[in-house]
Amino acid sequence: MEPRRDPRGALVRPYAVTRGRTEPLQNIALEAVLSSTATQSAEARFAGHDKYRISSVCEGRAQSLAEIAAYTRMPLGVTRVLVADMVAEGLLTLHSAAPATGFAARMNLLGRVLSGLREL
């Protein structure tokens, strides 16, 4: 595969960072939110450049998988593999891993989104 020209100008081979792996440990949703504490971030320093960048993006502010991919400028598939690894390694906390299921929980979530929109 051809190296991809990164928007910052560096040449990157997207799958080099995942050693060619394309299957994530778990299929994290685009909008699933991740965060990292200062402690987790400190540990991520030793996990390699890309994981450390991901960790920095999430430190102190919850970010979705899609945001992590956008801010690190890594393709979605690569980001998903790395993020799933980091969750398994305890370097990132995955929130809302299971979206609201069941009538009451779903109605409650919709109701909160509705009032959130109306208050904008």
Partner 1 sequence: MDFANYDPDGASRGREIISAKIVVAGGFGVGKTTLVGAISEIQPLTTEALMTAAGVGIDDSSKVPGKETTTVAMDFGRITMAEDLILYLFGTPGQTRFWFMWDEIIRGAVGAAVLVDTRRITDAFAPLDYFENRKLPYVVALNRFDDAPHYELEEIREALAISPDVPLVMCDARHRESVKQVLVTVVEHAMLRLQAEHGYPASVG
Question: Does the protein bind partner 1 through residue 89 (CB under 8 A)?
Answer: yes
Question: Does the protein bind partner 1 through residue 10 (CB under 8 A)?
Answer: no
Q: How far is the CB of 94 from partner 1 (least distance, A)?
A: 10
Q: Can you tell me the distance from the alpha carbon of 114 to that of 89, in angstroms, rounded to the nearest whole number?
A: 36
Size of the site for partner 1 (CB under 8 A): 52
Interface contacts to partner 1, rule CB under 8 A: 1-2, 4, 14-15, 20, 22, 29-33, 35, 37, 39-40, 43, 62, 64, 66-67, 69-71, 75-79, 88-91, 93, 95-96, 99-100, 103, 106-107, 109-114, 116-120
